[in-house]
Structure 1
Amino acid sequence: MLESVDYVVVGGGSAGCVMANRLSENGKYSVCLLEAGPADRNLWIHIPIGYGKTMFNPRLNWGFYTDPDHNMLDRRIYWPRGKTLGGSSSINGLIYIRGQKEDYDHWEALGNPGWSWEACLPYFRKLENNDLGAGPTHGTEGPLNATSIPKRHELVDALIGAANSLGIPTRKDFNTGDQRGVGYYQLTTRNGRRCSTAVAYLNPARQRPNLRIETEAQAMKILFRGKKATGVQYRQHGKIKTLNVNREVILCSGALQSPQLLQLSGIGNPDHLSPLGIPVVHTLNGVGENLQDHLQFRLIYEVNKPITTNDLLRSWSGRAKMGLQWALLRGGPLAIGINQGALFCNALSESDARPDVQFHFGTLSADMAGGQVHDFSGCTFSVCQLRPESRGYLRIRSTDPFEAPAMQPNYLSTDLDRRTAIAGVRLTRKLADAPPLQSLMKGEVKPGRDVRSDDEILHFCRENGATIFHPSGTAKMGPADDPMAVVDHRLAVRGLQGLRVVDASIMPALVSGNTNVPVVMVAERAAAFVLEDAQAGEHAFGVEVPALAGLKEGSVEHPTVAASLQDD
């Protein structure tokens, strides 16, 4: 490996693949992408419904658990995170959602200039190839596909009708900045296959001579000379290696592992680092704080007709039919995933300008996401509060970079969050009892209609609530006078040189929906910042950087799917 590169991107996930592509695009700069997991060769990554197979696969999934949460009856909550090229975009539920316009206007109002909805919209348009067509809010030239679900489902149509009967309008497009309504989600799929950021961004860039991709290379520490980041130490195949950087280290390891790596490198709160014997390189008390997540409550209903995915998965003929539909036509349930029905509305207050809850409506049922389907015809209403007030933290336990950090979400720790949880469950029941959905519901399996009072419903939420996979905020973006801000509005780590964070950890407040597409947008913006700064530096010194070659030797090549996809 070359002794140094211009940019090292730590983490080949949702943001890292974007950064690797954009920073190597003009050929001027040498880029190395470090990914702790393997290449994305597993067949189940590429079949949209296959995330049920990757949910607990330790080869592809970090499989984190939170610390016991007192608010959740001292339960440890399972937090899956992607551990392969594409990161969590290779194992997620494929939901294509941007969030509310007001989410980004709020980011700017918190002291982050240039992060309003109008400022972010060009990057949302740039990243997407949306089958709804080009327009003021959509693009068709981007790498990431936004695909509408091609075939309607009787259960989802019944959900739409039930929501309409409660005054919730039908919405075809949830990505205009106003999400209120009910309809079908768009998905990050392309021709019936998952369109992760590894597929969308990394595959087109793999043959560039100035891009090197190192898999199974887990970062251990950021190296500094004074206040300047100078490289990364990592472990690969049992060997400790060092990669020097000429320009910047860019952390794209996600809301859990970017702050972990900062703390391991001496960036954080001295009160947390010094007892572990870690020399403090720079004090930033916000590292690992401000942890936010969407907490979902899954209500299970038995359906009185054999029209669910449960029915297909339980029989040999059903599984064969699904397999043939996907193999021959790239269609059927395998090409869609699990959650088709989308609903954004107000459970607590209709006067709120923004929806306060989101539903993922699934045409199958299981006790948990990725779990074994039930032996009856079933469907799942998953409801989550969109903008929780509860805040947690993430802190390393030791100097061992391979030990998972302590993660404390503090779910349901505020009165608003508890009231919204109860209201979300009650709204679910109103939907299930409303026509035409009512005629398809045989009965409520979980929690069961004997759970009635607010206290009983809240206990159900504490006992059964789980992440919907959106941890965020642990290296938040904020102004210089915010003592908890970790990065500035250009995502540079405050007080340091040559170091940025680009992933969900920079979100000062959680967006009103799924986080994958917002993270891709953040990475598109960050890449523009990096290239602008590089160009400004070159102009200042009057130099022109030549295209670099020779990096490709020894890099990971993407195998052809037919020859190399395997079940790890």
Structure 2
Amino acid sequence: MSGKTPKVVIVGAGSAGLMLADGIADRADVTIVEGGIDPGSPAPRQMLYDYIFPASLDWGYRSTKGVPLLRGKVVGGSSSVNSSAGVRGQQWDFDPWGEGWTWADCLPALRANETDLQFGDADHHGDSGPIVMTRLKPGPIDDAFTAACLAAGHPEAPDHNAPGALGIGPWPTNRVDEGRWGTLAGVMPGLRGRVTLLAETTAHRVVITDGRARGVELTEAGESGTRVLPADVVVLSAGAFGTPELLIASGVDLPGVGEHLQDHPWVMLNALADPDLIAERPVSGSLLRLGLGGDPHEEIQIFPFSAHLYDMSRPVGEVSFAVGLMAPRSRGSLRVTPEGTAIDLGHLAEEIDRRSLAEGVRVAADLLDRVAATGIVTIPDNPWWRADDLEQQVVARAETYNHPVGTARLGDDDDPTAVVDRRLRVRGVDGLMVADASVMPAITRANTNLATMMIGRRAADLIEL
């Protein structure tokens, strides 16, 4: 595209979209199309500290079982409304992604994105990126949980993002002054004046003619009609639900679109505690990561947090001990039907997932007993996790950890189910890319936000301008 400044339209101002924009803003004419609001810069206090948001900041997705699937409808995407959990994944997560996406390929982007306040001088961390990483002072329940884990033989893990780390330690979290530090707070301020942001603007489809993306059909805020925003390159960064919807609406008929959906299922073991003790560290305190049977690939997360913080109908003194299955085999799908978008998460469809999550609950139950023995929490009578039919119990109680990935996954040319190639180009359509969690060929054994930001940063290196 020599001789002119290329026009790039990015659909989605979330974790990946803003990182991509940041990487190319000085060599392209970039327009970002975002369906949600722009809260402005600096990010307002409620976007930094609130945990319950109005429905207007959620895309309103529901699973086929009617379960809400929260996705941030706001600049910064889900990084503006999540819990800022900053576990990024291990070498064994990325190496199976293959050529161009191994740990060695992805680590430079992970480092470039972060400023790690405790471990920034380590060669596997960054010290000058826009996303500030830190570990918060634990509260009393975190201290009791940590002591229980150590007593049970789990090793200490002061840095959960160190290569090979497993064990008990503080949550890595992207926060500044304990406020949520996603791409709205960390990246968007530096983009203002360098890109065009069209907030509260609906993207309907990518306009494709003669096998090439020509632009995006959209409706801007306050307008009733549509117009086409021309582009030399269109990048879909609308997330694991929004991107396949747009591909389908645009007539991209590839067998992998909407397939291979993965998500981390989790269950809660709830106990009661003094509300004042919970309030000292309601979230982002301690985290146990363990490999079932000693296999680090079979990872389980266990950690306590305030149930009331996310659901005000729960008692103020209720603390949830979450158990997350981080290496699920089960897969679901997203289908666009005349009745709407049907999202089947596929949780625990595979027997091995049911067994593994049940085993994770047994580990958590033992730890909870140890914590309760100190008197800091009280376990309810006849708790569900002591039932004989534990596998059935976890199937009935499994919820979403809200980490959907894989619905437009990357792969090799000989993989008929791959939607994008290793440079994130949509197969069969020139000038069209995908850069978000939907391209992950397999879910990371970690909270997916930092890996999604990494994909955006990698896309800035891969885009052909």
Task: Pick the TM interval, shorter chain.
Answer: over 0.9
Match in the other structure for 1:494: 427
1:78 aligns with 2:21: no
Partner of 1:137: 124
Question: Matched residue of 1:440: which SS?
Answer: coil
Partner in structure 1 of residue 237 of structure 2:
252
1:385 correspondence with 2:318: no
The code of the aligned residue for 2:67 comes to: I
**Counterparts of 1:397 and 1:240 in 2: how far apart (Å)?**
24
Cα shift at 1:496: 1.4
Stretch of structure 1 that moved more, 375-384 or 510-519: 375-384
Q: Is 1:234 matched with 2:218?
A: yes
User: 1:244 & 1:376 partners in 2: Cα distance?
Assistant: 49
Percent of aligned positions that are identical: 32
1:47 match: secondary structure: helix
Report if aligned partners of 1:395, 1:407 keep a CA contact under 8 Å in 2.
yes
Instruction: Give 1:373 shift.
Output: 5.7
What is the correspondence of 1:85-234 to structure 2 with a 5 Å cutoff?
A: 85-108=75-98, 113-132=99-118, 133-149=120-136, 151-208=137-194, 211-234=195-218
Q: Deviations over 1:184-203 (max 9, x none)?
A: 11211123322110221111
Query: Are 2:166 and 2:289, in contact at CA under 8 Å, matched by a contact in 1?
Result: yes
1:356 aligns with 2:299: yes
Q: Which amino acid aligns with 2:90?
A: Q
Q: How far apart are the structure 2 equivalents of 1:440 and 1:250?
A: 54
- Say whether the 8 Å CA contact 2:173–2:284 is kept in structure 1: no
What SS is found at the alignment partner of 1:188? strand
- CA shift for structure 1 position 441: 4.8
Q: Does 1:15 align with 2:16?
A: yes
What residue identity is the alignment partner of 1:426? R
Residue 290 of structure 1 corresponds to which residue in structure 2?
260
Contact 2:362 2:385 in 1 (8 A): no
1:511 to 436, 440, 444: 444
CA drift of 1:238 comes to 3.7
SS of aligned partner of 2:261: coil
Backbone CA RMSD of aligned residues: 2.1
Q: Does 1:262 align with 2:247?
A: yes
Contact 1:291–1:391 at 8 Å: present in 2 too? Answer: yes
Say yes or no: does 1:424 pair with 2:357.
no
Q: Residues 9 and 81 (structure 1 numbering): CA distance in 2 closer, same or farther, change over 3 Å? A: same
Q: Report the AA paired with residue 262 of structure 1.
A: L
Q: Which amino acid aligns with 1:16?
A: G
Contact 1:100 1:354 (8 Å CA) reproduced: no
CA distance in 2, matches of 1:61, 1:98: 24
What does 1:372-451 correspond to in 2, within 5 Å? 372=312, 374-375=314-315, 377-398=317-338, 404-434=340-370, 438-445=373-380, 448-449=382-383, 451=385
Report deviation, 1:442: 4.3
Q: CA deviation at 1:438?
A: 2.7
Go from structure 1 to structure 2 and tell me whether the alpha carbon gap of 1:392 and 1:35 turns closer, same or farther (over 3 Å shift): same
Partner AA of 1:160 in structure 2? T
Q: Give the conservation status (yes or no) of the 8 Å contact 1:11–1:251.
A: yes
Q: How does 1:311-330 map to 2 (within 5 A)?
A: none
What SS does structure 2 have at the residue aligned with 1:500? strand
> Aligned to 1:37, what secondary structure does the other structure show?
coil
1:361 CA drift (Å): 1.9
Tell me whether 231-240 or 290-299 shows the greater mean CA deviation: 231-240
Q: Contact 1:9 / 1:251 at 8 angstroms: preserved in 2?
A: yes
Given that 1:18 and 1:202 are in contact with CA atoms closer than 8 Å, whether structure 2 keeps it comes out as no
Question: What TM-score, normalized by structure 2, do the two folds share?
Answer: 0.93
Structure 1 Cα separation of the partners of residues 271 and 59 of structure 2: 31
CA distance in 1, matches of 2:83, 2:343: 23
> Contact 2:218–2:229 (CA<8 Å) still a contact in 1?
no
Q: Which has the larger radius of gyration?
A: 1
Write out per-residue CA displacement over residues 231-262 of structure 1, whole angstroms, 9 at most, x where no aligned residue: 00012224333344342100000000100100
**Contact between 2:15 and 2:449, CA under 8 Å: does it hold in 1?**
yes
For residues 465 and 14 of structure 1, the distance between their equivalents in structure 2, rounded to whole angstroms, comes to 26
Instruction: Assess if the C-alpha contact under 8 Å between 2:206 and 2:246 holds in 1.
Output: yes
Q: Which residue of 2 aligns with 1:563?
A: none
Per-residue deviation at 1:459? 3.3
By how many angstroms is 1:115 displaced? 1.0
Matched AA of 1:358? Q
